[in-house]
């Protein structure tokens, strides 16, 4: 059996290529939309991808399953569980799609897959036990857990309410998750857990940085998993729902599009933005979303194109910034520090359904032109004035643990939908816990014409007398 974890570090997302080396057939599980990466890995290992499977309807990226089915004739294995509101509508009636119920099995070459219904993160969620029959095994080696069990954590049961707006489902989902975790008791300790996400994903609150684990280890040391196995439902529900970060706005759109069917990429290819000259910027400034991909928030504050969003391509910040602040269908201009950033930025953006990436310009060239260069002030957190009007863009649990007296709290990922709640102040001081989230929020507010001061530095360095 061939097995390869293929990771998108920007979203901390894992897809899995599993192949039968005897037959040459392979399956890709939970692929993203730019499927050329998976096809390349398969070809390099003398495999052909004949099947694709999904664990659930994803909220954090657009699936590549439809690309595989409609462009490459792959057979798709999708959940038929969860009720009428949780079906893959795009796949209905497609002869290349097989819908699975709890306990259904299928093979790819000599590799066996058994689907297990594991609801809680979503109602239709399936996980897959994988057995290498070609190697002579009669027990599973691998558990493809999707967003059910992670290394060090379990899937969020709150997203249907906090991201998709389905009121009243958070606690019932958490109770479903509790039962799903307890139902894994019969899976042997040696079975490997291959999760869909790792550290940095917004699909959990304490995901580990180790890429894989085993059931026995997670039963002992994964705190929410251990609590579900040994404790009561009420305690589990209370703990799993507390401290979950506010999801980016684009999550609700991903749920919709993955259910109805992500748009196919034109000719199966990525967008190719054209290079924009500085003397052409008048056609872009004020009429498009401008994503500045630099990581240096100090340099950004000092000089950037008018209306730019601070969206660092490093560290997984670009999808969060773009997904929180750029409207669906909006034309996009990339302001890049180096030409090689363009292809990676395009990939990160189309994975969250922002396809109109029409132009790019080198930041140095744009700023040297000067006609559209602006800035906003930045101060150290230790220098926050006592009479400031403050916007705190941290998570709700961070704010509850301590904050500036009188500060307004709106998480940076939800700022666009709550713009009307932002205090009317000139200027408005924007802070977080370290500086990066505040830089993203400050840039967004500045793009909307607000006068902001970026409070840059540790929350701990804000004068104690200003905090409660």
- The yes-or-no verdict on residue 41 having pLDDT over 90 is yes
- pLDDT bin (cut points 50, 70, 90) of residue 444 is very high
- The yes-or-no verdict on residue 203 having pLDDT over 90 is no
- pLDDT bin (cut points 50, 70, 90) of residue 205 is confident
Of 367, 336, 359, 371, whose CA–CA distance to 287 is shortest?
359
Helix axis angle, 233-241 relative to 223-230, nearest 10°? 160
Q: Quick one: pLDDT at residue 184?
A: 98
Q: Quick one: pLDDT at residue 451?
A: 97
Taking only the tens place, the pLDDT of each residue in 404-434 is 999 999 999 999 999 999 999 999 999 999 9
Q: Quick one: pLDDT at residue 146?
A: 98
φ, ψ of residue 422 in degrees (nearest 5): -70, 130
Q: What would the two tokens of residue 45 be?
A: 């290992």
In the predicted model, what is the mean pLDDT of residues 271-285? 98
- The yes-or-no verdict on residue 204 having pLDDT over 90 is no
- The yes-or-no verdict on residue 157 having pLDDT over 90 is yes
Q: What would the two tokens of residue 359 be?
A: 């132009």
- The yes-or-no verdict on residue 55 having pLDDT over 90 is yes
- The yes-or-no verdict on residue 454 having pLDDT over 90 is yes
- The yes-or-no verdict on residue 165 having pLDDT over 90 is no
Q: Quick one: pLDDT at residue 200?
A: 86
- pLDDT bin (cut points 50, 70, 90) of residue 311 is very high
Q: What is the C-alpha to C-alpha distance for residues 249 and 247, in angstroms, rounded to an integer?
A: 6
- pLDDT bin (cut points 50, 70, 90) of residue 107 is very high
Percent of the chain with pLDDT over 90: 95
In the predicted model, what is the mean pLDDT of residues 192-196? 98
In the predicted model, what is the mean pLDDT of residues 69-73? 97
- Given a contact cutoff of 8 angstroms between Cβ atoms, the answer to whether 151 and 210 are in contact is yes
Q: Quick one: pLDDT at residue 162?
A: 86
- The yes-or-no verdict on residue 202 having pLDDT over 90 is no
Taking only the tens place, the pLDDT of each residue in 214-243 is 999 999 999 999 999 999 999 999 999 999
φ, ψ of residue 448 in degrees (nearest 5): -95, 10
- pLDDT bin (cut points 50, 70, 90) of residue 206 is confident
Mean pLDDT taken over the chain: 96
Domains, the chain, with CATH or none: 2-258 (3.60.15.10), 270-374 (3.40.250.10), 378-466 (3.40.250.10)
- The yes-or-no verdict on residue 160 having pLDDT over 90 is no
Q: Quick one: pLDDT at residue 182?
A: 98
In the predicted model, what is the mean pLDDT of residues 185-213? 92
Q: What is the pTM of this model?
A: 0.96
Q: Quick one: pLDDT at residue 305?
A: 98
């Amino acid at each position: 059996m061939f097995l390869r974890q293929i990771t998108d570090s920007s979203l901390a997302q894992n897809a899995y290529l599993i192949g039968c080396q005897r037959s040459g057939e392979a399956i890709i599980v939970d692929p993203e939309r730019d499927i050329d990466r998976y096809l390349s890995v398969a070809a390099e290992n003398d495999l052909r991808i004949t099947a694709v499977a999904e664990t659930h309807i994803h909220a954090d990226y657009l699936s590549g399953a439809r690309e595989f089915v409609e462009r490459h004739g792959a057979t798709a294995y999708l959940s038929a569980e969860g009720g009428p509101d949780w079906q893959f509508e795009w796949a209905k009636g497609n002869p290349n799609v097989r819908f699975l119920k709890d306990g259904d099995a299928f093979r790819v070459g000599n590799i066996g897959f058994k689907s297990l219904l594991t609801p809680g993160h979503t109602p239709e969620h399936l996980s897959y036990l994988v057995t290498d029959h070609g190697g002579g095994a009669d027990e599973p080696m691998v558990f493809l857990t999707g967003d059910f069990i992670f290394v060090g954590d379990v899937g969020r049961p709150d997203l249907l309410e906090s991201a998709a707006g389905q009121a009243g489902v958070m606690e019932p989902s958490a109770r479903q998750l509790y039962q799903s975790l307890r139902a894994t008791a019969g899976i042997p300790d040696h079975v490997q857990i291959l999760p869909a996400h790792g550290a940095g994903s917004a699909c959990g609150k304490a995901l580990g940085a180790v890429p894989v684990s085993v059931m026995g280890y997670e039963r002992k040391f994964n705190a929410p998993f251990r609590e579900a196995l040994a404790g009561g439902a009420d305690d589990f529900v209370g703990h799993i729902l507390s401290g979950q970060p506010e999801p980016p706005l684009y999550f609700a759109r991903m749920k919709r599009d993955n259910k109805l069917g992500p748009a196919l990429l034109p000719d199966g290819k990525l967008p190719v933005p054209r290079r924009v000259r500085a003397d052409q910027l008048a056609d872009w400034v004020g009429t498009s979303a401008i994503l500045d991909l630099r990581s240096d928030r100090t340099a950004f504050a000092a000089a950037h194109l008018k209306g730019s969003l601070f969206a660092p391509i490093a560290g997984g910040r670009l999808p969060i910034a773009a997904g929180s602040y750029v409207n669906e269908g909006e034309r996009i201009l990339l302001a890049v520090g180096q030409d090689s950033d363009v292809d990676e930025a395009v990939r990160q953006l189309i994975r969250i359904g922002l396809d109109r990436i029409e132009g790019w310009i080198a930041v140095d060239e744009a700023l040297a032109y000067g006609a559209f260069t602006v800035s906003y002030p930045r101060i150290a957190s230790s220098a926050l004035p006592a009479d400031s009007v403050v916007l705190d863009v941290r998570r709700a649990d961070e704010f509850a643990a301590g904050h500036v007296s009188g500060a307004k709290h709106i998480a940076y990922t939800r700022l666009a939908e709550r713009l009307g709640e932002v205090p009317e102040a000139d200027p408005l001081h924007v802070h977080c816990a370290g500086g990066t989230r505040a830089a993203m929020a400050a840039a967004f507010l500045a793009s909307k014409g607000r006068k902001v001061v970026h409070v840059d530095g540790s929350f701990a360095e804000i004068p104690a007398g200003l905090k409660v």
